[in-house]
A = this chain, B = another copy of it.
Amino acid sequence: MIEVIKTKHIGFCFGVKRAVSAVLREAGRSKEKIYTLGPLLHNPQMVEILKENGVEAVDDVSSVGSGLVAFRSHGIRKDEEEEIRAKGLRFIDTTCPFVKRVRRHALYLRRNGYRVVIAGDRTHPEVKSVLSYLDDDGMVFHSSFPIEAKKIGVVSQTTLDQETFSDVVRALAAGAVELRVYNTICESTNIRRREAVELAGVTEAMLIVGGKNSSNTTKLFQTVKGIQPRTYHIETEDEIREEWFAGVHKVGIAGGASTPDTIIDRVERRVNNL
């Protein structure tokens, strides 16, 4: 029989739990339809469950005429927030507080004359959100890129890996007279990565469970795969293939910040029954 070991920190992170609870609470007591701008979280299975509870993801505020709007946990764009307010729509701000901290630091830096650099992925909704609140007056770097400026201020996407962040900071240290850096990688991201790496060291195969569209899950997968070649990224237990575990006695399970406990449990059970 295969022994299954899970990381200590698994299931929703603080920000995702907070957003999902708030939306489900509203869904339970409200007769109105609830809309989220983009998926509330990057987990297709959970987004499906929300839909069954009357919570629908839409791409565009303009398609919402009435009802309640919930902000996605990664934050929405400034113009979206303005449109929601202008339309007089009821809303609940379910933006992760740690994402708001990124925004707050970025705005503080800009107000104080720093050229703002966001270390992260410019296609990720969180980065798009922060950038929009800077009125797009910011740069996004995902690798070493030196720029010259008297004052450079840096924040990081909450789900960025520490190595990339450090590389970005290193490159900027050369061209700035003053460099001010807020390390806004969230603690949950760091802890999960550390625990997953440690678990990979004592197991023979690893399962990383979470949305394929989830930034933190994908980075977790890449990090662990670099240590343990027998690492597989799955969204649900149905993707598990028996041949992955030929000759394997110990399997580790780690999950992204937007992976619900229920899916982790089902994955664990499936491996136990192989």
Does A58 reach chain B (CB closer than 8 Å)? no
Considering residues A171, A176, A177, A181, which has the most beta carbons from chain B within 10 angstroms of its beta carbon?
A: A181
Q: Which residues of B lie under 8 Å from residue A90 when comparing CB positions?
A: none
**Could you say which of A25-33, A160-168, A223-231, A236-244 contacts chain B?**
A160-168
The minimal Cβ–Cβ distance linking A53 to chain B, given in whole angstroms, is: 37
Residue of B nearest to A182 (CB): B178
In the docked arrangement, what's the CA distance between A165 and B169, Å? 12
* Residues B183 and A180 in contact, CB atoms below 8 Å apart: no
Does A51 reach chain B (CB closer than 8 Å)? no
The minimal Cβ–Cβ distance linking A227 to chain B, given in whole angstroms, is: 19
* Residues B183 and A174 in contact, CB atoms below 8 Å apart: yes
The minimal Cβ–Cβ distance linking A157 to chain B, given in whole angstroms, is: 14
Does A173 reach chain B (CB closer than 8 Å)? yes
Does A249 reach chain B (CB closer than 8 Å)? no
Residue of B nearest to A185 (CB): B174
* Residues A174 and B166 in contact, CB atoms below 8 Å apart: yes
12 further interface pairs, Cβ-Cβ under 8 Å (given A166-B170, A167-B170): A165-B173, A169-B179, A170-B170, A170-B173, A173-B183, A176-B181, A177-B182, A178-B180, A178-B181, A178-B183, A179-B179, A180-B180
User: Nearest 9 pairs between A and B by C-beta?
Assistant: A170-B170, A179-B181, A169-B173, A166-B173, A166-B170, A180-B180, A162-B174, A178-B182, A166-B174
- Name 25 interchain pairs, CB-CB below 8 A, sorted by A: A162-B174, A165-B173, A165-B174, A166-B170, A166-B171, A166-B173, A166-B174, A167-B170, A169-B169, A169-B170, A169-B173, A170-B170, A170-B173, A173-B181, A173-B183, A176-B183, A177-B183, A178-B180, A178-B181, A178-B182, A179-B179, A179-B180, A179-B181, A179-B183, A180-B180
